[in-house]
């Protein structure tokens, strides 16, 4: 396709937008962040600077952030942010009327072929592109928090999205070292957040039923199967656990037991009693650690984990 | 309690039994493996030798396996295996009549206070201890494959299990560097395998419905939320994603959306059509890699991951 995306606009300068901006800057791109709220806008450069050492440790960022900073603009002026932009990463609030308002505001400033990739987790691309002037260039490019560290991008096409836009977006994200999956069709929650919701439902059920504490449910994952899931997904894990008979033999023989286990999984409600149990269990689990401390440790560990994984060939 | 467990019997020398044996030997214990099948028995020392370099890399094994080998006995003679044993880790086939037969066979050779910890994933301790002479010392000590690398042990008491046995087993597993969780009451699948089943159910649903390929569902985890789950469980992940309002605020405001998402999760059947889709999707995902190669890469990466995690303070 020969396209060379050099200038990216990020719409929304919150946690996700700033993290995307850091990733784009690390790859030598010129980035304009559009953020109407002054206090949020002021935090963008600091967030990018905070992300920079991790990007360097991963071999993604060349040079210092000070050297990269001239390539970063943060502005409340949409027209200025979108001038000569080659790609838009939209990170506004995840509500449909707001997405439609954002797209109506930015389309007049864009060349028709410029892709608008929405970071939306809750909305489907066919909804987002409704009423757009050029719906064919609108798709979902859903990252995971924090986008500059977690490689996954779910690239989802809506009914009106062109195959050309999907391919150009995929090539762009690959250039950024992202692990791109392209679902065969759109579904609420895309793929990863549906899997996350399934795990969380049973995690809530076990606490609500008094089977285990919040802390122990979490350790049951992070000291157990979660260690494997950082390396391989549930299908391959199940396959490797199945022994020498092959997956078909395993599923045909143990399938009924698996179905019986599924039938026994919980269907909790987030009622007042369950919320109280979750809140008090989380207080116990935190043992006084703050969210900021834990997020910083998580990010440091993620960098080490990603490096170890890259070395393993998985 | 002042107890010093020095001699451990492992009942069953398959994959799980041999991995437990490696962990016990690495900690300087004397290990007798009871395995009636000659071909399986012959493989035990090789499996332990294979595990040894990883145990050394994790700082768990002192010295070479050759030096440790005199502390390992593999025998088809139950009485010989159980002589002067301080702790039994039972790793027989996961079917209740067989568990009852094993316990009937080993109890006559044991001092009454010796704990029998079953590695069972599918059975509940109250079932396993039915009909035992000393049911109070029978509990579940469920590991994750491979037990010498994955730190989690689910320690589950049955109706007749004594608190003393739980505490002694917990102290023993802690001495082996295990991350022990003690569910507040027993439930089919304990804790971790229920969470695993919940994730797998949606992973199967997404393939069965044609939303994503087996390979992409797996990557959606291993390049996405799976990286975080190696470091922290679903509750803490959800808490950190919730922003500054606190967990109660988050659950009260976004709870209805979460419940709606749960209601849309799939309930697949493992029928012939779905099994065919899973098998063919796994073939595509493997791209010719063998299970042995992938398991070896997984174990190498697990060692690196566990070291990185230990350094992070999480």
Give CA–CA dist A261/B268, Å, rounded: 12
Q: Is the confidence at residue A245, as pLDDT, over 80?
A: no
The number of beta carbons lying within 10 Å of the beta carbon of residue B258 is 17
C-alpha B208, offset from chain centre = 28
Evaluate whether the domain defined by B192-312 bears CATH number 2.40.50.100.
no
Q: Do B216 and A181 touch (CB under 8 A)?
A: yes
DSSP secondary structure string, A74-119?
Answer: EES-HHHHHTT-SEEEE---S-HHHHHHHHHHHGGGS-TT-EEEE-
What is the predicted pLDDT for the residue at A313? 77
Q: Do A230 and B225 touch (CB under 8 A)?
A: no
CA separation, residue A307 to residues A149, A150, A310, A312 (Å): 11, 12, 5, 9
Smallest Cα–Cα separation from B150: which of B117, B123, B109, B181?
Answer: B181
Give CA–CA dist A250/A115, Å, rounded: 44
- Tell me the average pLDDT across A252-268: 92
Q: Do A240 and B192 touch (CB under 8 A)?
A: no
What is the predicted pLDDT for the residue at B310? 87
Q: Do B304 and A311 touch (CB under 8 A)?
A: yes
Smallest Cα–Cα separation from B196: which of A235, A252, A281?
Answer: A235
Comparing B8 with A244, the larger pLDDT belongs to B8
Give CA–CA dist A211/B191, Å, rounded: 8
The B residues from 197 to 216 touching A (CB cutoff 8 Å) are 197-203, 206-207, 209-214, 216
User: How many CB pairs below 8 A link A and B?
Assistant: 357
User: Is residue A219 classed exposed, middle or buried when 0-12, 13-18 and 19+ CB atoms within 10 A define those classes?
Assistant: buried
Q: What is the pTM (predicted TM-score) of this model?
A: 0.95
Smallest Cα–Cα separation from A268: which of A278, A283, A259?
Answer: A278
Complex ipTM more than 0.90, yes or no: yes
Tell me whether domains A7-181 and A192-312 share a fold.
Answer: no
Q: Do A220 and B251 touch (CB under 8 A)?
A: no
Q: Is A49 on the interface with B (CB under 8 A)?
A: no
Q: Do B223 and A191 touch (CB under 8 A)?
A: no
Q: Is B228 on the interface with A (CB under 8 A)?
A: yes
Q: Do B187 and A211 touch (CB under 8 A)?
A: yes
Smallest Cα–Cα separation from B221: which of A192, A264, A312?
Answer: A192
- Compute the CA torsion angle B6, B10, B13, B17 (nearest 10 deg): -90
The B residues from 119 to 158 touching A (CB cutoff 8 Å) are 122, 144-145, 150-152, 154
Q: Which residues of chain B lie closer than 8 angstroms to A199, CB-CB?
A: 195, 198-199, 229, 234
Which residue in chain A has the smallest CA separation from B284? A236
What is the predicted pLDDT for the residue at A243? 67
What is the predicted pLDDT for the residue at B303? 94
> What pLDDT digit, counting tens, does each position of B45-97 carry?
999 999 999 999 999 998 899 999 999 999 999 998 898 899 999 999 999 99
Q: Which residues of chain B lie closer than 8 angstroms to A14, CB-CB?
A: none
Give CA–CA dist B200/A199, Å, rounded: 9
Contact present, A235 and B275 (Cβ < 8 Å) = no
> What pLDDT digit, counting tens, does each position of B253-271 carry?
888 889 999 999 999 999 9
Q: Is B184 on the interface with A (CB under 8 A)?
A: yes
Contact present, B208 and B274 (Cβ < 8 Å) = yes
Q: Is the confidence at residue A10, as pLDDT, over 80?
A: yes
CA separation, residue A182 to residues A295, B80, B83, B215 (Å): 29, 58, 59, 11
Contact present, B169 and B115 (Cβ < 8 Å) = yes
Instruction: State how far residue B110 is from chain A, nearest Cα, in angstroms.
Output: 31
Q: Is B275 on the interface with A (CB under 8 A)?
A: yes
Q: Where are the domains of chain B?
A: 7-181, 192-312
Give CA–CA dist B125/A187, Å, rounded: 41
Reading the block at residue B74, the tokens are 């593999």
Give CA–CA dist B102/B129, Å, rounded: 11
Q: Is A281 on the interface with B (CB under 8 A)?
A: yes
CB-facing half-sphere around the CA of A127: CA atoms within 13 A: 16
Which residues in chain B land under pLDDT 70?
A: 1-2, 243-244
Q: What percent of chain A has pLDDT over 90?
A: 83
Which residue in chain A has the smallest CA separation from B292? A240
Topology (CATH) of B7-181: Rossmann fold (3.40.50)
Give CA–CA dist A233/A228, Å, rounded: 8
The number of beta carbons lying within 10 Å of the beta carbon of residue A46 is 10
Interface test mutation site (partner B, options A120, A193, A229, max chain B beta carbons within 10 A): A229
What is the predicted pLDDT for the residue at A1? 46
CA separation, residue B103 to residues A92, B89, B138 (Å): 61, 11, 9
User: Is residue B2 classed exposed, middle or buried when 0-12, 13-18 and 19+ CB atoms within 10 A define those classes?
Assistant: exposed
What is the predicted pLDDT for the residue at A131? 96
Q: Do A297 and B314 touch (CB under 8 A)?
A: yes
> What pLDDT digit, counting tens, does each position of A17-42 carry?
999 999 999 999 999 999 999 999 99
Q: What are phi and psi of B27, to 5 degrees?
A: -90, 15
Give CA–CA dist B74/B62, Å, rounded: 21
Instruction: State how far residue A231 is from chain B, nearest Cα, in angstroms.
Output: 5
Contact present, B136 and B162 (Cβ < 8 Å) = yes
Smallest Cα–Cα separation from A216: which of B99, B1, B191?
Answer: B191
**Which are the contacts of B280, defined by CB distance < 8 A and separation ≥ 6?**
none
- Checking DSSP bridges between strand B72-75 and strand A138-143, what pairing results, if any? unpaired
Query: What own/partner pairs with CB < 8 Å and gap ≥ 24 does B48-51 have?
Result: B48/B18, B48/B21, B48/B22, B48/B72, B51/B18, B51/B19, B51/B22, B51/B23, B51/B146, B51/B148
Query: What own/partner pairs with CB < 8 Å and gap ≥ 24 does A155-159 have?
Result: A155/A117, A155/A180, A155/A181, A155/A182, A156/A124, A156/A125, A156/A182, A156/A183, A156/A186, A156/A190, A157/A125, A157/A182, A157/A186, A158/A124, A158/A125, A158/A126, A158/A127, A158/A128, A158/A129, A158/A186, A159/A126, A159/A129
Interface test mutation site (partner B, options A191, A209, A271, A299, max chain B beta carbons within 10 A): A191
Smallest Cα–Cα separation from A296: which of B245, B313, B235, B303?
Answer: B313
> What pLDDT digit, counting tens, does each position of A192-235 carry?
999 999 999 999 999 999 999 999 999 999 999 999 999 999 99
SS3 A276: helix
What is the predicted pLDDT for the residue at B204? 98
> What pLDDT digit, counting tens, does each position of A285-303 carry?
998 888 888 988 898 999 9
What is the predicted pLDDT for the residue at B24? 97
What is the predicted pLDDT for the residue at A314? 77
**Orientation angle between helical segments A246-263 and B192-208, nearest 10 degrees:** 110
CB-facing half-sphere around the CA of A246: CA atoms within 13 A: 8
Q: Provide the mean pLDDT of chain A.
A: 94
User: Is residue A307 classed exposed, middle or buried when 0-12, 13-18 and 19+ CB atoms within 10 A define those classes?
Assistant: middle
Q: Is A59 on the interface with B (CB under 8 A)?
A: no
């Amino acid at each position: 396709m020969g396209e060379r995306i050099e200038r990216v606009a990020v719409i929304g300068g919150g946690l996700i937008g700033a993290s995307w901006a850091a990733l784009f800057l690390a790859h030598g791109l010129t980035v304009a962040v559009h953020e109407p709220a002054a206090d949020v806008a002021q935090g963008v450069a600091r967030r990018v600077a905070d992300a920079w050492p991790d990007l360097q440790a991963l071999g993604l960022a060349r040079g210092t952030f000070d050297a990269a900073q001239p390539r970063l603009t943060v502005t409340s002026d949409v027209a200025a942010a979108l001038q000569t932009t080659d790609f838009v990463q939209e990170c506004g609030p995840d509500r449909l009327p707001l997405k439609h308002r954002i797209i109506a505001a930015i389309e007049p400033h864009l060349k028709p072929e410029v892709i608008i990739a929405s970071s939306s987790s809750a909305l489907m691309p066919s909804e987002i592109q409704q009423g757009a002037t050029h719906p064919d260039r609108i798709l979902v490019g859903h990252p995971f928090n924090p986008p500059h560290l977690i490689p996954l991008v779910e690239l989802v096409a809506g009914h009106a999205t062109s195959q050309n836009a999907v391919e150009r977006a995929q090539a762009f994200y690959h250039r950024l070292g992202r692990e791109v999956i392209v679902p065969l069709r759109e579904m609420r929650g895309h793929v990863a957040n549906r899997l996350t919701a399934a795990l969380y439902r049973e995690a809530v059920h076990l606490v609500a039923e008094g089977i285990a504490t919040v802390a122990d449910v979490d350790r049951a994952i992070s000291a157990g199967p979660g260690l494997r899931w950082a390396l391989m997904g549930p299908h391959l894990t199940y396959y490797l656990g199945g022994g020498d008979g092959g997956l078909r033999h395993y599923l045909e023989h143990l399938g009924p037991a698996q179905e019986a286990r599924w039938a026994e999984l919980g269907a909790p409600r987030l009622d007042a009693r369950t919320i109280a149990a979750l809140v008090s269990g989380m207080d116990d689990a935190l043992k006084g650690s703050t969210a900021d401390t834990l997020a910083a440790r998580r990010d440091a560990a993620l960098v080490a984990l990603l490096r170890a994984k890259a070395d393993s060939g998985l």
